[in-house]
DNA sequence: AACGCCTACAACCGCTCTGGT
DNA sequence: TACCAGAGCGGTTGTAGGCGT
């Protein structure tokens, strides 16, 4: 990409961490691109001495760089365990998947992609994935497509456009699951491409959780099922008569606690319909004692969403922040993570 | 060939967090 | 408890190189 700045720019490093008494030293600190010589110095020092105080490393390695700059260079470029090159499709999907759960927590996402750095992932997201999703959304939002008045439904737009909206960081969340299928639909797996699982908070902020991408629906749905402690399925979601109905959205008023919350509705996509082996059926199971308040199980055993329900374990005004979630715990249980073949 | 626009990504910047005193 | 320094994080910027005209 950019050529190394061999000449070197000697500027004052604005690192606020630098002791103000070291003004003379600061004036010598270089900024900008690293030269091969600097890389070699830092690499050699790190391999000999290992990681320590970055300010000391910068000084002891004979680098006219601030510790912060050295740290960044090591982490993002020099580290021996870095995996160079383009992101594989698997990595890409995992990034999308994790981003739907973690948001812009690049370091946490990077921690689950061996050999990749947060900076790399962040750049990849901002330059490639974000744009691609935007393009997808625009192409799906053509006049012909949007003349359907249900397009006013943000959930539908988000899902059909394949666009990702960041999940609101706080408030209660509902989970929506979209399927272009109905119980009577017979489809190939390709018909599931636009299926998404949406999280919605009470302010109608939506976020996909997780995004169900082409050819990955089973995997992602399994991830979701793991997060929500899913048990065997008993029915297939149908539709309801309101704005969400056409796309078969399941709305669950509150999701929390993940493992022990009795008030959640399990959801899952299975490899086969319980009756028909339809490979693309959404299956739901009652996890709540209030299940029948929210869903009707008809004579065919099909589940229909009837109404939004109250709260068993959490009163309506109670808010929950993403930060309070046990993200580590959640991610530890995602069965789809091992699919990455590193 | 020259020019301009676009993209990818390295690096910077500013902020928060954390641990030590 | 307050303060400080270092580490770490996420957002943003700058620019080399690719690509189209």
Mean pLDDT (chain A) is 50
- Please give the pLDDT value at position A214: 32
Domain ranges of chain A: 9-78, 147-339
Average pLDDT over residues A279-298: 30
pLDDT given for residue A72 in this prediction: 87
| Residue A224 scores a pLDDT above 50 | no
In the DSSP assignment, the letter for residue A78 is: I
Report for A83-97, A240-254, A256-270, A307-321: range of highest mean pLDDT: A83-97
Q: How far is the CA of A71 from the C1' of B16 (A)?
A: 18
**How many angstroms separate the CA of A50 from the C1' of C9?**
22
Lookup: nucleotide whose C1' is closest to A1 CA: C16
Distance in angstroms (rounded) separating the CA atoms of residues A202 and A294: 17
- The listed range with the strongest mean pLDDT (A7-11, A140-144, A166-170) is A140-144
- Measure CA A95 to chain center: 6
Q: What is the pLDDT of residue A114?
A: 84
Q: Is the CB of A31 under 7 A from strand C?
A: no
CA distance A183 to A273: 10
| Contact status, residue A54 vs residue A13, Cβ threshold 8 Å | no
pLDDT, residue A113, reads: 86
- Domain topology for A9-78: Arc Repressor Mutant, subunit A (1.10.10)
How far is A336 from A338, CA to CA, in rounded Å?
6
A16: nt with nearest C1' to CA = B14
User: Cβ of residue A86 near strand B, that is under 7 Å?
Assistant: yes
Nearest protein residue to the C1' atom of B15, measured from CA: A16
> CA A165 – C1' C12 distance (Å)?
21
**Element at A160 (helix H, strand E):** helix A154-161
The reply to whether A106 has its C-beta less than 7 Å from any atom of strand C is: yes
User: Is there a contact between A266 and A308 (Cβ–Cβ < 8 Å)?
Assistant: no
Q: Give the Å distances, CA to CA, from A191 to A164, A182, A213, A245, A281.
A: 20, 12, 11, 18, 11
A18 sits within 7 Å of strand C by its CB: yes
Which of the four pLDDT bands, split at 50, 70 and 90, describes residue A217? very low
Nearest to A250 by CA among A301, A199, A208, A215: A199
In the prediction, which pLDDT does A332 show?
54
Q: Structure tokens of A14?
A: 């604005």
pLDDT, residue A47, reads 85
Query: Quick check: A54 CB within 7 A of strand C?
Result: yes
Q: What is the pLDDT of residue A197?
A: 38
Give the three-class secondary structure for A186: coil
pTM reported for the whole predicted model:
0.52
Percent of the residues in chain A that have a pLDDT greater than 70, as a whole number: 30
Label residue A273 by pLDDT band (50, 70, 90).
very low
Q: What is the pLDDT of residues A56-71, one digit of tens each?
A: 888 888 888 888 888 8
Q: What is the pLDDT of residues A70-126, one digit of tens each?
A: 888 888 888 888 887 888 888 888 888 888 888 888 888 888 888 888 888 888 888
């Amino acid at each position: 990409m950019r050529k190394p700045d061999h000449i070197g720019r000697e500027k004052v490093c604005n690192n606020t961490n630098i002791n103000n008494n070291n003004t003379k030293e600061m004036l010598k600190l270089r900024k900008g691109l690293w030269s091969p010589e600097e890389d070699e110095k830092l690499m050699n020092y790190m391999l000999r001495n290992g990681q320590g105080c970055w300010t000391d490393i910068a000084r002891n390695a004979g680098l006219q760089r601030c510790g912060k700059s050295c740290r960044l260079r090591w982490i993002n470029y020099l580290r021996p365990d870095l995996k160079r090159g383009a992101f594989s499709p698997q990595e890409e999907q995992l990034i999308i998947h994790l981003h739907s759960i973690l948001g812009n927590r690049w370091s946490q996402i990077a921690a689950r992609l061996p050999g990749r750095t947060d900076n790399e992932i962040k750049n990849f997201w901002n330059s490639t994935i974000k744009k691609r999703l935007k393009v997808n959304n625009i192409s799906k939002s053509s006049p012909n497509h949007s003349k359907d008045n249900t397009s006013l439904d943000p959930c539908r737009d988000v899902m059909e456009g394949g666009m990702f909206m960041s999940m609101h960081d706080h408030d209660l969340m509902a989970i929506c699951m979209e399927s272009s299928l109905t119980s009577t639909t017979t489809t190939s797996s390709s018909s599931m491409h636009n299926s998404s699982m949406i999280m919605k908070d009470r302010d109608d902020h939506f976020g996909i959780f997780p995004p169900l991408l082409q050819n990955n629906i089973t995997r992602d749905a399994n991830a979701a099922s793991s997060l929500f402690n899913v048990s065997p399925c008993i029915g297939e979601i149908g539709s309801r008569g309101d704005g969400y109905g056409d796309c078969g959205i399941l709305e669950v008023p509150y999701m929390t606690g993940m493992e022990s919350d009795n008030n959640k509705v399990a959801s899952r996509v299975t490899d086969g319909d319980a009756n028909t082996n339809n490979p693309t059926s959404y299956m739901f199971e009652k996890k709540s004692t209030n299940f029948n308040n929210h869903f009707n199980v008809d004579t065919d055993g099909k589940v229909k969403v009837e109404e939004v329900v109250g709260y068993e374990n959490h009163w309506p005004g109670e808010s929950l922040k993403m930060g309070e979630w046990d993200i580590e715990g959640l991610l530890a249980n995602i069965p789809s993570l091992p699919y990455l073949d590193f």
